[in-house]
Chains A and B, each alone.
Chain A
Amino acid sequence: MMRTLDKYAAIFPVLVVYAVLFLLGLNMSGMWQLMATLLFYCALGQAFNIFLGMTGYVDFGYVAFVGMGTYGMAVTITSLAGTGLGGLTIIAGYIMALAFSGLLSLAVGAVALRLRGAYFAIATIGVNEGLRFLIEGTNLWGGSGGIIFTRQLNDILGKDASSALATFWADVLVLIIAVLAAITTIVYMRSKIGYALTALREDEDAAKVMGINVTMFKILAFMTSACFAGLLGATAWALKTPYVFPPEVFEIHYTIEAIIIVMLGGAGTLLGPVAGGLIYGIGKYVLSIVLPGFQLLIFAPLIIIIIVAFPDGVVGGIRNKFGHTALGRFIL
């Protein structure tokens, strides 16, 4: 029992941060939206880290999985509206979101994960852009007109419930997804999966020689990460704002944000995406108030400075320093 606790002790700081964000948002007036945004960044980082951090592969098309999750929920709600399934529709939407992002990641992973380094990154940009043009060009799911399903959501849940969903419960669901992603991360890290991913991240050929089926583990990490992205899309982009437009959900800007969050905090660490999400989210928010219009100009060099000071990310840097002390087991 003690050993198991010790093994998973590193999850506690993550849970504490999430709890603090949640309670701050709940109890301070006007803070909920900021806390929800921070939670979204943390969740996005946590989900992306399972692939980017643990395998070392950079996916520039990551947002496509968030987008597919959004579409999964949107398509389900529009096609099941009027069937009287009520709340079950939302569950069906989540299943569809998982299916969309999971299947896309399986298809992309089975092909693109044969490429390494920059070639993989380029291929994934192509997937993201290609998907967007496919939807727009073939008029799939409303084409470039997108899907607006505010009315259907109101029909299914009732007006009050769907507005409570948009302003509160969707954010709580994001928090739950963030916690699930953190739990998945530590379970992976502590199992053979984590060791296989570390080995292939450091040296893929040597990992093969050790008996690791690198393709299988890469696809596993890719799909896990993509499924969490899909859940996030279905929640934060579909349930919270009941519309979806291709240029918005396939915007590469979100992928870049996710990469920055993971790298800032510490790729491959458990606490890293949380630290990265907080630094990025708070930094962006504060600068947009203090220096409106100039926030990106100031923020970019700040990010560069942090990355130069902490090449392994903030949490990576702290772990290098304090990893061997009594605090070490809480920093992962």
Chain B
Amino acid sequence: MAALLRLENVSKRFGGIVALNQVNMEIQYGEFVGIVGPNGSGKTTLFNVINGVYFPDEGRVLFEDRDISRLPTHRRASIGLGRTFQIPRPFASATVRENVAVGAMFGSRGKETNVNESMLVAESIIERMGLSRHRDKKAELLTPVEKKLMEIARALAMKPKLLLMDEAMAGMHPGEIDRLVELLGGVAAEEEVAIVAMVEHVMRAVVGMAQKIIVLHQGEKICDAPAQEALNDPKVIECYLGYTPEEAS
């Protein structure tokens, strides 16, 4: 079977700054991938190119073998691309249930789901995420962690094939991270969602779950390997710490 998502020589420049330089990568169906890289390495730009916020200057983005390089963001959602943000962006005046239902109404199952059915979908996902008692609360009244969980619920309600998660675990304590990792692992396996999680700080989450890790540095992909291997790669260590182990000794 072909890859779910494939990037072919994708470049994106802002003026003279090369944010992404000839990036190639593949994500398989149901795979869990961590995107790692220091500040300014191009992770967010990569997400924005996959998601359609930006169009690539060069190269192609293929989703299920279809070229989506120039497809607007909302159309990408309807073919199965979901996303959560680093700082949650709830629809503040709507209730938790309404927020999540919006995902079901307009995501990949949007065409065949009416308002009432979307509410039912939302309820089952909310329960799964452990947010049932906040169901009728306005989203703006949730705590930051609850907002994050709600945003993940909202993205899952879209029934995505690929879910881009932007620093989903930042700001959570280890217990919560473990719980979320387990939950996501379960959902991903069951619904066959491929998850691409962007990580800057919380390595714990990635190492525990990722089948592979892609490391970005100054807009280039410097490593694409299974988790342990990637974290021991000298080039990766260099870009995080500034020198190679050999130089240090």
Q: A190-B115, A195-B102 are in contact. Are A210 and B154 (CB under 8 A)?
A: yes
Whether a CB of chain A sits under 8 angstroms from the CB of B51 is: yes
Residue from B93, B94, B106 within 8 A of A212 (CB atoms): B106
Size band of the interface chain A makes with B: 20 to 34
Whether a CB of chain B sits under 8 angstroms from the CB of A206 is: yes
Residue from A192, A195, A196, A210 within 8 A of B77 (CB atoms): A210
A206 touches B93 (CB 8 A): no
Whether a CB of chain A sits under 8 angstroms from the CB of B9 is: no
Report how far A287 CA is from B98 CA in the complex, Å. 43
Whether a CB of chain A sits under 8 angstroms from the CB of B24 is: no
Residue from A191, A196, A201, A205 within 8 A of B106 (CB atoms): A196
Report how far A191 CA is from B101 CA in the complex, Å. 12
Residues from chain B with Cβ under 8 Å of A192 in the complex:
105-106, 114-115
Whether a CB of chain A sits under 8 angstroms from the CB of B92 is: yes
Smallest CB–CB gap between A201 and chain B, Å?
Answer: 8
User: Contacting chain A: which of B83-91, B196-204, B221-229, B232-240?
Assistant: B83-91
A199 touches B89 (CB 8 A): no
Q: A210-B106, A210-B158 are in contact. Are A202 and B93 (CB under 8 A)?
A: yes
Q: A198-B94, A199-B102, A206-B91 are in contact. Are A214 and B74 (CB under 8 A)?
A: yes
A202 touches B94 (CB 8 A): yes
Task: Supply 21 A–B pairs (Cβ within 8 Å), ascending by A.
Answer: A192-B106, A195-B98, A196-B102, A199-B102, A201-B93, A202-B91, A203-B92, A206-B90, A206-B91, A207-B91, A207-B102, A208-B73, A209-B77, A209-B83, A210-B102, A210-B107, A211-B75, A211-B106, A212-B74, A212-B77, A212-B106
Binding site for A on B (CB under 8 A): 51, 53, 72-75, 77-78, 82-83, 85, 89-94, 98, 101-103, 105-108, 110, 114-115, 136, 154, 158
Binding site for B on A (CB under 8 A): 190-192, 195-196, 198-199, 201-203, 205-214, 268, 324
